[in-house]
Amino acid sequence: MRKLKMMLCVMMLPLVVVGCTSKQSVSQCVKPPRPPGVDNAASPRLADTAERDYFTLRERLITMQKQLEGTQKYINEQCR
């Protein structure tokens, strides 16, 4: 399950970073212009909405994992 969560995050990150919608592929997205090199530039981070969406997705994946584990435990206890 952890591997699945990591795969989902890795697959979604390029879409979030370049601002694509779920209906666009990464190659169709308009890439923002590169900033000029600056020594004191702020560290890169996600947009506020993207960060909020990421943590919401993460919470939902954790909830789903707990539900799945509970269901598996119930099935193993009842069907043996």
Please list, residue by residue across 22-31, b when 16 or more beta carbons sit within 10 angstroms of its beta carbon and e when fewer do.
eeeeeeeeee
What is the residue-level pLDDT of the chain in tens, covering all 80 positions? Answer: 566 666 656 555 554 444 555 555 556 666 666 666 666 667 788 899 999 999 999 999 999 999 999 999 999 998 87
Q: Are 35 and 72 in contact (CB under 8 A)?
A: no
- Please tell me the pTM assigned to this model: 0.45
Delimit the domains of the chain by residue range: 1-79
Query: Please, are residues 15 and 27 in contact by the beta-carbon 8 Å criterion?
Result: no
CA-to-CA distance for 20 and 23, rounded, in angstroms? 8
Contact status, residue 64 vs residue 2, Cβ threshold 8 Å: no
